[in-house]
Chains A and B, each alone.
Chain A
Amino acid sequence: MQDTYTVERLDRPSTYYTAKKKRKYGRDQPDDRDGAGNNAEEDDPLKDATSLYVGNLSFYTTEEQIHELFSKCGEIKRLVMGLDRFQKTPCGFCFVEYYTHQDALDCMKYIGGTKLDERVIRTDLDVGFQEGRQYGRGKSGGQVRDEYRDEFDPGRGGYGRAIDAERRKEEEEYGAGK
């Protein structure tokens, strides 16, 4: 594929994977500058990706809703809901797998950043679902972002859990309304 455009492409993966790689191999590793970039491109794990990570879902959004929207980009092979590690209830993300790479790219371009269930959802190319990845990695079982959020989000369980726990503790100690 042509690699420069006069306009940014929406079907490029986020920095999640490149950043992860950097973390893994340390920041001081020589990177693209001395030609290592060519190698990296060859074993780019996302170059044929057919899966997407979908984020910022409401906890109440169902598989059927997701299917209805995402099948506009092609037939869906598999849909895996992200679950709270302990309660096994949806915790606001999922993996959508298509049959083709092109469908996944189209989904990035046409669906990522639009609304589902009245929330703007986020899509990112993904290497594919593996058992275990469906669970939130936050301390309390959900996604990490729902631990410390200090805004109230009714679609994602209100306040962040850690913050909520703290508030409750305070209320217990000092009485409500303080």
Chain B
Amino acid sequence: MADYDRRRRGGGGGGGGGGHFNNRKRRYRDDDYEDRRPQRRRYEEPLAVTVRKQVLSIAESPVRRVEDDVATIAKALAENYFDHDLTSGFVDLAVQLTVEQPLKIPFVAAIVLLANVQKPELTVDVLSKVGESLQRRLDLGEWREVKLYLRFLACLQGIFEGDGIFTILEELFSRAADLQMKSSEDSLGLELVKVILMTIPYAMSSSASGFETQASALLEKTDIIASTAHPLEALVDPFPSAEVGAPTSSESALALLQKHMQEEAKSSWELSCLPRPWKGNRSSEEEDALNAAQKHPFPQVAVPQVVQNGARAIFPEVYFSVYGEQEIETVPGPTDTAALLIRDALSDTINVLDFNRMIAAKFLTDVDCYFAPDTFVKRATPFDKLREVTGDKATWKPEDVIVDAAFGQLMQLPSPEHKLVYYHSVLTETCKLAPAAVAPSLGRAIRFLYRNVDRLDLELSQRFLDWFAHHLSNFGFTWKWTEWVDDVNLPEVHPKKAFIIDSLDKEIRLSFSKRIKGTLPVPYQALISEAKDKDAPDFKYNDESTPFAAEGKEIAQLIRRKAGNEEFTPIFEKIEQDATASGLSDPAHASTDAYVTSICWVGSKSLSHVLACIERCQERLLALSSTSPTCRKQIITSVMDYWKDQTGVGVVILDKLLNYQILTPASILEWVLIDNVARGTLLAKTWSYELVSHTTSKVAGRVRSIVGAIRQPGLPGEQQGELQQALARELETMKNLFSIIQDAAVSIRDGNQDEMMESSDALRAQEEDLLKAWGGKWARVFQRKYAVEDSWVREELAKPIPEPETKVDNDAKMEEVTKAEDAEGENGAMVDDVDLIA
């Protein structure tokens, strides 16, 4: 059952169901059917249903006073405690809302707080259920959910006996300290400290008072862990310094959070952005009643002696903002204590609700409802109007804050929780919900990223590029290109020019060249070659002046009519003889080129055509590729040469050839980074980055699937051994492949390609520096990718192997499924191949 069901008969009781856009067909019956039907007896909605709806929509309306709604619901619950449906329905919903709609936690907690005055029994029910859920998440190491349940309990600090939430926070800290003691590279300890620091403010803004000492004591302890730089921090810096080994330019989010909380402690925990829905305008009598209400023991929850981490690897986080360089502050700056509190709630909302991006976007656009009033300026206030804000009133634009949060996820290194396209879709939906308000914010975000594209980590500039083109494709490809028009004259390897060229290419991939040309000012037109207009590139052998033109055409004919293998042989022989005669050093390349180019041409009608073609020619291609590494590279050259104007297609074909094992990962990497790198010029092209990163992620996917196989419960020892051997082999391969990239990129970064440089004195010094910078960027990205894979394998193998399933326990089963899915990850493609290796 889904409460946000927008279908006609949705809501309350309806069955689960399809996406709302799946079901918009209106049948002719729909219109007049109901008129004819006799009216049903008037139906009064049960209280449980009414209250459920009220709780679900708590705080959503900007026009209602949420304090009143909280009080009304609390009253209904307290007075009807005997109604089992109502009570148990509420308890379940409170538990679920906490982890599914985290922005509402303070409001749901306030309901419980108020109801506690009249009906402490309800509180007992809620606490026991929340305690159970918290315990389960603690045991599984699902730290986000732990954090959210603790937040709920922190909001209820006022009803606990003794130290309440602080006891468990202390316990969490001692685990963190143990972990950090064992290893300085530990990141789980950081996560625990984050949980603690994100819980304290909610306890301090709750109805409870007099916990300053406990809070300060904890802050003193967390300081050392939170403020010490983690060794991996440099790896996830979005704006890395060009110099090797330089300190990071961005501060870690955890260190900032620690500072913010220390600030708050000094200003007696003002925490002005957090909502206090339990306050309302109550009389002093009611206030007393709240204080005098029954206290409860904190739920019985035990932090496991050995804490572990769930499915997602933990890396240090950096506070990333796209609005940092503005004359007026439109989002809380990194020194503001609200920055991370708001960001954290929004990031969780985005990540938790990946199964409904429309609702995620709706919560985002309603951000001002979930924080204290006056935290933000009114929605859709134009940037220029912010100048008129007087006094110390906030100038934070809600639209900027949410766009910033979405980019914070999209730009998270090494990778965000979900596929990147999810964050694209959230931004698209927010834009659809409030186009006039969000579009200008996005515009400023784009300008910031573009302005800084040369400083940005390469992986992030690629994400920006990919998002940008995809986003424009959802909004009619409109962008104010005129503002970048001066950059069209920059050298091709300048990061800004490279961004422009590749954005246009990606736009074209999603659309077609004429359409995109139509959206561009004149100076940009020249960037799109005429050749891109053609549906299929020309076949070079149709030009009689091309060597082996006749043979090339003949081969194409043979492929087209699906001729047998033996028919090709004489033509190949002829080409090779002629090539030898005319003094070509490697005659086999000429025949390979003719063959592969013909396959590309015959298959140029569509991807399916070329794949069918490759499949038919698979045997011969495999035989060719196995003759020598240079022959494999000739195959790559022929494909990319044929598709030079639509490199995206070429990349897909090479990817498939890799699947067929016609190409090897090493051949692709060497082709890009050594043979054709052209002093680094190729490193400025998105398609070469795509080619290399697809290849490495396939290799990594293979490793991951073997690890997954090894960790299968109940594997016989013999098979275990074989898999271990396979893993060792694959790990070695992976290491070697990454070092090919590393060596090549570093040599470009350090300008070690002297002999080549001298031969091209036309190249200006500036370009030379740009090329070195590309080398540095590539080296960084792939060094990180390797580090991530390497540590994933180590951590995964260190985890205890799950027991073979005996009894089907639902939760355990669910966990199993998510693990399996995670292991397959993006590289499911390789799963099929495990058998081959083992």
Residues in chain A within 8 A of chain B (CB atoms): 1-15, 32, 62-65, 67-69, 71-75, 77, 79-81, 98-103, 106, 108-118, 120, 122, 124
Q: Which of B16-24, B368-376, B752-760, B800-808 contacts A (4 or more CB under 8 A)?
A: B16-24
With an 8 A cutoff between CB atoms, is B2 at the interface? Answer: yes
With an 8 A cutoff between CB atoms, is B831 at the interface? Answer: yes
Q: Which residue of chain B is the closest to A124 with respect to CB atoms? A: B22
Shortest A123–chain B CB gap in Å is 8
On whether the beta carbons of A3 and B16 are closer than 8 Å, the reply is: yes
**Alpha-carbon distance A75/B695, docked complex (angstroms):** 12
Give residues of chain B (71-116) contacting chain A, Cβ–Cβ below 8 Å.
93, 96-97, 100-101
Q: Which residue of chain A is the closest to B25 with respect to CB atoms? A: A145
**Alpha-carbon distance A10/B355, docked complex (angstroms):** 6
On whether the beta carbons of A100 and B821 are closer than 8 Å, the reply is: yes
**Alpha-carbon distance A4/B649, docked complex (angstroms):** 42
**Alpha-carbon distance A158/B769, docked complex (angstroms):** 54
On whether the beta carbons of B607 and A63 are closer than 8 Å, the reply is: yes
Q: Which of A9, A72, A99, A103 meets B420, CB within 8 Å?
A: A72
**A-B pairs with beta carbons under 8 Å apart, 29 shown:** A1-B817, A6-B3, A6-B93, A6-B96, A7-B2, A7-B101, A7-B355, A7-B356, A8-B2, A8-B17, A8-B19, A9-B355, A15-B22, A64-B509, A64-B649, A65-B511, A68-B506, A69-B470, A72-B420, A72-B470, A75-B829, A77-B829, A79-B608, A99-B829, A111-B421, A115-B473, A116-B510, A118-B511, A124-B22
Shortest B145–chain A CB gap in Å is 13
Query: Which of A1, A13, A74 has most chain B Cβ within 10 Å?
Result: A74
With an 8 A cutoff between CB atoms, is B1 at the interface? Answer: yes
Q: Which of B322-330, B335-343, B422-430, B590-598 contacts A (4 or more CB under 8 A)?
A: B422-430
Residues in chain B within 8 A of chain A (CB atoms): 1-6, 10, 15-23, 56, 93, 96-97, 100-101, 353-359, 418-422, 424-425, 428, 466, 470, 473-474, 476, 506, 509-512, 606-608, 646, 648-649, 652, 655, 814, 817, 821, 824, 826-829, 831-832
Q: Which residue of chain B is the closest to A12 with respect to CB atoms? A: B18
Q: Which residue of chain B is the closest to A69 with respect to CB atoms? A: B510
Answer whether A14 and B817 are a contact pair too, CB < 8 Å, given A6-B3, A7-B4, A115-B473: no
Q: Which residue of chain A is the closest to B422 with respect to CB atoms? A: A110
On whether the beta carbons of A98 and B828 are closer than 8 Å, the reply is: yes
Note all chain B residues with C-beta closer than 8 A to A109.
354-357, 422, 425
Q: Which residue of chain B is the closest to A56 with respect to CB atoms? A: B21
**Alpha-carbon distance A115/B829, docked complex (angstroms):** 26
Answer whether A80 and B608 are a contact pair too, CB < 8 Å, given A6-B96, A7-B100, A68-B510: yes
Note all chain B residues with C-beta closer than 8 A to A80.
608
On whether the beta carbons of A6 and B827 are closer than 8 Å, the reply is: no
Note all chain A residues with C-beta closer than 8 A to B607.
63-64, 67, 79
Note all chain A residues with C-beta closer than 8 A to B4.
6-8
On whether the beta carbons of A5 and B100 are closer than 8 Å, the reply is: yes
Given A9-B16, A67-B607, A102-B821, 15 extra CB contacts under 8 A: A8-B19, A11-B355, A14-B19, A14-B22, A15-B18, A64-B606, A65-B512, A72-B421, A75-B827, A100-B828, A106-B421, A109-B354, A109-B425, A114-B425, A118-B476
**Alpha-carbon distance A101/B422, docked complex (angstroms):** 17
Answer whether A74 and B21 are a contact pair too, CB < 8 Å, given A6-B101, A63-B607: no
**Alpha-carbon distance A71/B425, docked complex (angstroms):** 15
**Alpha-carbon distance A98/B827, docked complex (angstroms):** 11
Q: Which of B419, B466, B473, B606 meets A73, CB within 8 Å?
A: B419
**Alpha-carbon distance A12/B569, docked complex (angstroms):** 53
Note all chain B residues with C-beta closer than 8 A to A117.
510-511
Note all chain B residues with C-beta closer than 8 A to A120.
21
Shortest B4–chain A CB gap in Å is 5
On whether the beta carbons of B97 and A6 are closer than 8 Å, the reply is: yes
**Alpha-carbon distance A106/B6, docked complex (angstroms):** 21
On whether the beta carbons of B828 and A103 are closer than 8 Å, the reply is: yes
On whether the beta carbons of B831 and A110 are closer than 8 Å, the reply is: no
Note all chain B residues with C-beta closer than 8 A to A14.
18-19, 22-23
On whether the beta carbons of B425 and A8 are closer than 8 Å, the reply is: no
Note all chain A residues with C-beta closer than 8 A to B19.
8, 10-12, 14, 108, 112-113
On whether the beta carbons of A4 and B419 are closer than 8 Å, the reply is: no
Shortest A106–chain B CB gap in Å is 6
Answer whether A1 and B3 are a contact pair too, CB < 8 Å, given A15-B17, A79-B608, A99-B829: no
Note all chain A residues with C-beta closer than 8 A to B16.
3-4, 9, 12
On whether the beta carbons of A106 and B22 are closer than 8 Å, the reply is: no
Q: Which of A3, A13, A102 meets B824, CB within 8 Å?
A: A102
On whether the beta carbons of A74 and B828 are closer than 8 Å, the reply is: yes
On whether the beta carbons of B419 and A110 are closer than 8 Å, the reply is: yes
On whether the beta carbons of A12 and B608 are closer than 8 Å, the reply is: no
Answer whether A110 and B814 are a contact pair too, CB < 8 Å, given A10-B355, A15-B18, A124-B22: no
Note all chain A residues with C-beta closer than 8 A to B353.
7
Query: Which of A77, A110, A111 has most chain B Cβ within 10 Å?
Result: A110
**Alpha-carbon distance A115/B474, docked complex (angstroms):** 5
Note all chain B residues with C-beta closer than 8 A to A124.
18, 22
Q: Which residue of chain B is the closest to A121 with respect to CB atoms? A: B21
Shortest B334–chain A CB gap in Å is 30
**Alpha-carbon distance A110/B511, docked complex (angstroms):** 19
Q: Which residue of chain B is the closest to A10 with respect to CB atoms? A: B19
Q: Which of B1, B10, B21 meets A113, CB within 8 Å?
A: B21
**Alpha-carbon distance A1/B428, docked complex (angstroms):** 28
Q: Which residue of chain A is the closest to B14 with respect to CB atoms? A: A8
On whether the beta carbons of A2 and B814 are closer than 8 Å, the reply is: yes
On whether the beta carbons of B652 and A74 are closer than 8 Å, the reply is: no
Q: Which residue of chain B is the closest to A77 with respect to CB atoms? A: B829
Q: Which residue of chain B is the closest to A71 with respect to CB atoms? A: B652
Shortest A59–chain B CB gap in Å is 14
Shortest A103–chain B CB gap in Å is 6
Q: Which residue of chain B is the closest to A1 with respect to CB atoms? A: B814
Shortest A135–chain B CB gap in Å is 15
Query: Which of A12, A101, A120 has most chain B Cβ within 10 Å?
Result: A12
**Alpha-carbon distance A62/B22, docked complex (angstroms):** 23
Shortest A107–chain B CB gap in Å is 9
On whether the beta carbons of A7 and B606 are closer than 8 Å, the reply is: no
On whether the beta carbons of B474 and A114 are closer than 8 Å, the reply is: yes
Note all chain B residues with C-beta closer than 8 A to A15.
17-18, 22-23
Shortest B27–chain A CB gap in Å is 11
Note all chain B residues with C-beta closer than 8 A to A110.
354, 357, 419, 421-422, 424-425
**Alpha-carbon distance A86/B16, docked complex (angstroms):** 39
Q: Which residue of chain A is the closest to B428 with respect to CB atoms? A: A114
**Alpha-carbon distance A99/B422, docked complex (angstroms):** 19
**Alpha-carbon distance A83/B18, docked complex (angstroms):** 26
4 nearest A-B pairs in the assembled complex, by CB-CB distance: A8-B2, A100-B828, A14-B22, A99-B828
Note all chain A residues with C-beta closer than 8 A to B509.
64-65, 68
Shortest A42–chain B CB gap in Å is 13
Q: Which of A5, A62, A67, A72 meets B2, CB within 8 Å?
A: A5
Q: Which of A1, A9, A63 meets B608, CB within 8 Å?
A: A63
Shortest B235–chain A CB gap in Å is 25
**Alpha-carbon distance A3/B648, docked complex (angstroms):** 40
Note all chain B residues with C-beta closer than 8 A to A67.
607, 652
Note all chain B residues with C-beta closer than 8 A to A77.
829
On whether the beta carbons of A99 and B832 are closer than 8 Å, the reply is: yes
**Alpha-carbon distance A118/B3, docked complex (angstroms):** 31
Shortest B244–chain A CB gap in Å is 33
**Alpha-carbon distance A69/B418, docked complex (angstroms):** 16
Note all chain A residues with C-beta closer than 8 A to B425.
109-111, 114
**Alpha-carbon distance A120/B19, docked complex (angstroms):** 14
**Alpha-carbon distance A73/B654, docked complex (angstroms):** 19
On whether the beta carbons of B814 and A6 are closer than 8 Å, the reply is: no
Shortest B491–chain A CB gap in Å is 28
Q: Which residue of chain B is the closest to A113 with respect to CB atoms? A: B21
Note all chain A residues with C-beta closer than 8 A to B466.
72
Query: Which of A75, A98, A100, A101 has most chain B Cβ within 10 Å?
Result: A75
**Alpha-carbon distance A80/B827, docked complex (angstroms):** 21
**Alpha-carbon distance A120/B22, docked complex (angstroms):** 12
Shortest A86–chain B CB gap in Å is 19
